[in-house]
Amino acid sequence: MNEPRPAPKSCWELFTTFFWVAMQAFGGALAITKQTLIDHKRWYTKEEYVEMLTLVQTLPGPNNCKIIIMTGDRYFGLKGAFMGLLGFTIVPLTSVITLSYFMSDFLANEVIVGILKGVLAAVAGLSIGTALSLSENFYKHPLGSALWLTGAGITFVSIAIFRVPLLVVLLVIGVPWVILTHRAMKKKGMI
């Protein structure tokens, strides 16, 4: 018999969870959000999270905020979405407003600039680590692992090496891949 899935007990738990995610996130919170929602809180399985991340990436706006809104809405509706997003944005918002007053002083300081460059490298590493962690589900893809790796490789090379604009990649690579995946899912009786 399956044990019940953990879930937030209140909107306050959503607020505090995403508040602490924001407190740990410097330059990008997607990796920390993934770790919190899958590993620590267990509100999502890895497969559910990948599906949600895939969906939010097709919509405009910051992915992390969309994940938080969807999570809050899933458990407590509009109130949960608002409380989760408020928890995540209150500290960064006040920090950015405060720092904007002192920005010219900060950017004139070489030590601060060096620290910011180091943080940028750490954020890039977190992003790559998150992508690799989530990509381990590729062997379950309806098209099979070889075609999945081919699509991921073509997308990476197009964006990272040839600097093809994202909209072009989505139209030229993404749309055919969605159609192929849909057909494979139909053929396998998955939909």
pLDDT for the residue 27: 67
Averaged pLDDT, groups of 10, the chain, 191 residues long: 85 97 85 94 93 88 94 97 97 87 80 85 82 78 86 91 92 90 89 83
Alpha helices in 42-62 (DSSP H): 46-56
pLDDT for the residue 99: 81
pLDDT for the residue 5: 85
On whether both 30 and 84 belong to a single domain, the answer is: yes
On whether both 133 and 157 belong to a single domain, the answer is: no
On whether both 82 and 8 belong to a single domain, the answer is: yes
What region, left, alpha or beta, does residue 118 occupy, with left being phi > 0 and alpha being psi -120 to 50 degrees? alpha
On whether both 29 and 95 belong to a single domain, the answer is: yes
Domain that holds residue 151: 141-191
pLDDT for the residue 123: 80
On whether both 6 and 91 belong to a single domain, the answer is: yes
What amino acid is encoded at 98 in this protein? Answer: T
On whether both 131 and 146 belong to a single domain, the answer is: no
pTM: 0.71
pLDDT for the residue 15: 97
On whether both 112 and 167 belong to a single domain, the answer is: no
